[in-house]
Structure 1
Amino acid sequence: MKEKESHHINWDLISNYLNGEMNTEDKLAFEKLIAINAEYAKIVTAVNKDLNCIHELNKIHQQFDVDKAWLEVKSKLKNQPEKATKFPFFARQNAKKILQIAAMLLITIGLGFASYRIYTDRLVPYQSISSEINESSTTITLPDASLVSLHGESKLIYEKSFSGKERRVQLIGEAYFEIAKNPEKPFIISVGNAEIKVLGTSFNVNALHKQIEVLVETGKVQFSNAKEPNRSLILEKGDFAILRENLLEKRTQNDENYLSWKTKLMVFKAMSLEQVAKVIDRTYQVQIEFSDTSIQNLPITTSFNQTPIEEVLENLCRPHKLRYQINGHRIIIEKKVE
């Protein structure tokens, strides 16, 4: 077996270089050596990378104070009942050493988890955040300061640093986006079989059903079928478009409550109680049921803005002599018993 030629490497030279202990002339000479000697170059790169990791771990290590921990343990031992002093002599003599070893083991475990987290962040550069089925809204601040509000039962996957030439995310469900402007780095959303490209704007994307809907509040976006990116629509403020299967088209959006889940503003104009219930379900992530189908067609004309759901239900039920019962996220509306 061939012996490794590590004895030819001048480790003191490498150490002085990495520690910044060389003068300008020596540093230039050593960098020339690195340029022509692949083994030196490989070692310097590897050691420098490890030093960076150690630097990060040292930051975490500074959070642990072994001496302070030992003093706290020692103080507690002094406050123990007298019978504790009946331990064998050798046990008393070695107690401090044993406890110090145990403390170091705990620190080592802590550093192990910390280093695992550091390496995991480097190897797995993506973050995934989900909103629960009964959450009306979950807001996320992305690395570029863009804001994303996730509707219930939705998920966003994004790169932790946006280090590439574009800011790309993947959406499952529905979300409202407020994108930080950066003309040099477009923001791209992959959702189902669609792709939405934007430089800076605010808009809603809904893929909760068998179609993908985009409503633009401000700015401009490009909405396309991912399979046919050349066939796209440019949407501006107020535009609404749908991609269903392979058909991409603009439509008119007349639903005043389309964004109520985000704004908590609901406007009802001569709507049936059944229609109103659907808006409330979407806004507050609840499920309204009726004990009697005859009350579903009762007319409702009113509005609510950032109103607690109990107050909303109370105002809807009172004029029609109804009552409601809340059981978790399930709400039953029924006639009052006279």
Structure 2
Amino acid sequence: MNSNVHIPDDLLARYVAGETTPDETRQVKAWLGQSAGYEEELLRFQKIWEAAEIIKPVAEVNVDAAWKKVSSRFTVQPAINDSEVTIQNQLPFTTHKNDDAVRPLRSGKSPSNFRFWRAAASILIVMGLGWLGYRFFEKANEPAIANVLKTQQKTTEQTLPDGTKVFLNQNTTLSFTDDFGQDTRTVVLKGEAYFDVKRDENRPFIIQANGTEVKVLGTSFNVRAYDQKVNVAVTSGKVQFSTPRAKTLLVKNETATAQADTIIKLPVVDLNAMAYRTKVFVFDKTNLGDVVASLREGYQTDIQLSGRLKNCQLTARFERESLDATLSVIAETLHLQVTRKGQTILLDGQGCP
């Protein structure tokens, strides 16, 4: 934070959640009173916290009866990973020479004016050559992106040159140099991917994603970076997550979100956020609106919910089930109707039982 008086992130998190003690509340308010800019900092912090969509506890329903009723209609098969990946090889950066000539101005101006324009043209030429030289040096020192892994509407699993396994979600691009780096193993991510990094004490594995950096030696974690909000969830080992102005260390079962140079640690890892890879969904007294959002992401299917049902609650676990089986159990449990309209699936009903 851009302040002379340090306020810990966890104190601001408790303040935003309304869980501070009276003394802590006074401390935050005193900090806010020092500068108008601090209120903007707190507002940005609050927006990121609210975007985390932490699970809210509510009443349970009986899923077992629903399972028994619909299980005879479905034969459970292991989920098959339909993969679709494009691998592009690109040439290293090249610098093109500018062959345009600089011609002197022809006019009826006096010799003194002519000397002025000739001097100005000379300055421009020197500046132009200097700029071209700078750009040549800059390009020569940029990493040459030679390999691109790209998915569209399906997911895929790939093994990188160092032995690291990466599972790419749909609409994701992963780029890395041809030699994969000498001192570091650096990749650039746009989208979402789960990494199982092969350990190498001498070459850290670095992911650059929308202005953030994730640095590890060898561990397993998920990175979601479709937009300026970047989320990292760790399933094993340690991860260093940083922005230009903040840095934090994450260990197993910890997650954090970064946006606008601010990093906020969240209470737990949302396993449903990685269901695009695992096809495992765990709902514990979860709002049906959040359930549908998780299923939509995990199955890459357009699933819509009637507005009056979004606050209904579900406690259930689905492990590598087909989408039809999962929706049938939910519909039977909460007395819903499942309707397909083209590529869209609609869940509707009278309300919560």
The number of aligned residues is 214
Q: What is the SS of the residue equivalent to 1:215?
A: strand
1:184 alignment partner in structure 2: 202
Q: Does 1:128 align with 2:148?
A: yes
Residue 203 of structure 1 aligns with an amino acid whose one-letter code is F
Measured after TM superposition, the shift of residue 270 of structure 1 is 2.4
Please show how residues 35-54 of structure 1 align to structure 2 within 5 Å: none
Measured after TM superposition, the shift of residue 242 of structure 1 is 2.0
1:254-289 residue CA offsets vs partner (Å, 9 max, x unmatched) = 534232222211112222322211110111112211
Measured after TM superposition, the shift of residue 322 of structure 1 is 2.7
Q: Does 1:325 align with 2:345?
A: no
Larger radius of gyration: 1
In 1, Cα distance between equivalents of 2:187 and 2:89:
23
Residue 154 of structure 1 aligns with an amino acid whose one-letter code is T
Measured after TM superposition, the shift of residue 182 of structure 1 is 1.0
Q: In the alignment, is the contact (CA less than 8 A) between 1:143 and 1:160 conserved in 2?
A: no
Q: What is the SS of the residue equivalent to 1:145?
A: coil
Measured after TM superposition, the shift of residue 320 of structure 1 is 3.5
Please show how residues 134-283 of structure 1 align to structure 2 within 5 Å: 134-135=153-154, 137-225=155-243, 227-228=244-245, 231-253=246-268, 255-283=270-298
Measured after TM superposition, the shift of residue 176 of structure 1 is 0.8
Residue 249 of structure 2 aligns with an amino acid whose one-letter code is I
Measured after TM superposition, the shift of residue 328 of structure 1 is 5.5
In 1, Cα distance between equivalents of 2:298 and 2:324:
13
1:305 alignment partner in structure 2: 319
In 1, Cα distance between equivalents of 2:173 and 2:248:
25
What are the ranges of 5 or more consecutive residues in structure 1 without an aligned counterpart? 1-116
Percent identity among equivalent residues? 29
Q: In the alignment, is the contact (CA less than 8 A) between 1:272 and 1:296 conserved in 2?
A: yes
1:30-57 residue CA offsets vs partner (Å, 9 max, x unmatched) = xxxxxxxxxxxxxxxxxxxxxxxxxxxx
Residue 340 of structure 2 aligns with an amino acid whose one-letter code is I
In 1, Cα distance between equivalents of 2:184 and 2:342:
42
1:121-151 residue CA offsets vs partner (Å, 9 max, x unmatched) = 999761112222x43x321211111111112
In 2, Cα distance between equivalents of 1:328 and 1:141:
36
Bigger fraction of residues in helix: 1
Q: 1:280 to 1:233 in 2, by over 3 A?
A: same
Q: Does 1:315 align with 2:329?
A: yes
2:37 alignment partner in structure 1: none
Q: In the alignment, is the contact (CA less than 8 A) between 2:214 and 2:240 conserved in 1?
A: yes
Q: What is the SS of the residue equivalent to 1:259?
A: helix
Q: 1:200 to 1:161 in 2, by over 3 A?
A: same
In 2, Cα distance between equivalents of 1:242 and 1:118:
32
How big is the alpha-carbon RMSD for the aligned residues of Structure 1 and Structure 2?
A: 2.7
Q: In the alignment, is the contact (CA less than 8 A) between 2:273 and 2:298 conserved in 1?
A: no
Q: What is the SS of the residue equivalent to 2:157?
A: strand
In 2, Cα distance between equivalents of 1:308 and 1:285:
12
Measured after TM superposition, the shift of residue 327 of structure 1 is 4.6
Higher relative contact order (CA 8 A, sep 6+): 2
Q: 1:314 to 1:158 in 2, by over 3 A?
A: same
In 2, Cα distance between equivalents of 1:179 and 1:193:
21
Q: 1:146 to 1:122 in 2, by over 3 A?
A: farther
Residue 233 of structure 2 aligns with an amino acid whose one-letter code is L
Q: What is the SS of the residue equivalent to 1:257?
A: helix
Measured after TM superposition, the shift of residue 163 of structure 1 is 4.7
In 1, Cα distance between equivalents of 2:342 and 2:206:
37
1:112 alignment partner in structure 2: none
Q: What is the SS of the residue equivalent to 1:270?
A: strand
TM-score normalised by L of structure 1: 0.57
Q: 1:200 to 1:296 in 2, by over 3 A?
A: same
Q: 1:332 to 1:192 in 2, by over 3 A?
A: same
1:219-269 residue CA offsets vs partner (Å, 9 max, x unmatched) = 1122111x34xx522222222222210112333225342322222111122
Q: 1:328 to 1:173 in 2, by over 3 A?
A: farther
Q: 1:247 to 1:294 in 2, by over 3 A?
A: closer
In 1, Cα distance between equivalents of 2:279 and 2:230:
22
In 1, Cα distance between equivalents of 2:307 and 2:89:
58
